[in-house]
A = this chain, B = another copy of it.
């Protein structure tokens, strides 16, 4: 095993360092965040920092950096209190990646990146029609992370829209059936292949494949 110390990676050139550190936590979820400003203009950006925060209440967290492209998204969530999450599938991941480009505020990433805006049930923020798993989310609280000037956004799940063939009797979702992708680092897209589902672990017996 090669050892790379903090001193080593601090001396990496900026882009190399970002590539390296972004790979360390493992594979990352990918979601498109849809928002709408007070005037009705829509905004869309890709994020890879979303994580499960809790089931009861149903909470999802993600990190926003105010100094980068998603600042329009951050403004819209702060002003309106709402956003959508849209899983990124294999059939439109290049369009999804393109939303990370720096577009002027007056241009919606939906049209610039050939993705289709959809309104559902009067929810304030727009959904991505191409996505087969979409969430309507409401801002609960933002937590400033003073260490690097980012914000943890705590969102509660309001509605879930899905292709109901992926919903199993026990509540779990077969994400591989809708080709939800994941990311390594900043730009390397992967398609997860299911290996197996394991039984609830107990100290007195070995785990078993249950599916």
Question: With a CB–CB cut-off of 8 A, which chain B residues contact A75?
Answer: none
Separation of A132 and B197 alpha carbons in the complex (Å): 23
Across the two chains, which residue of chain B brings its CB closest to A185? Answer: B172
Report whether A145 and B53 are in contact in the complex, using a CB–CB cutoff of 8 Å: yes
Bound: A199/B188 CA distance, A: 9
Asked if A147 contacts B54 (CB within 8 A), the reply is yes
Q: Does A87 contact B26, Cβ atoms closer than 8 Å? A: yes
CB atoms of B171 and A18 under 8 A apart = yes
When all copies of this chain in the complex are counted, the total is 2
A143 CA / B152 CA spacing, docked (Å): 11
CB atoms of A182 and B181 under 8 A apart: no
* CA–CA, A33 and B20, complex, Å: 20
As a 0/1 sequence over residues 47 to 64 of chain A, the CB contacts with chain B under 8 angstroms (1 = contact) are 011111111111111010
For the complex, is A150 an interface residue (Cβ under 8 Å from B)?
yes
Any chain B CB within 8 A of the CB of A108?
no
Q: Report Cα–Cα, A176/B185, bound state, in Å.
A: 12
- Does A39 count as interface, using CB distance less than 8 angstroms? no
Contact yes or no, A20 B172, CB < 8 A: yes
Q: Does A4 contact B (CB under 8 A)?
A: yes
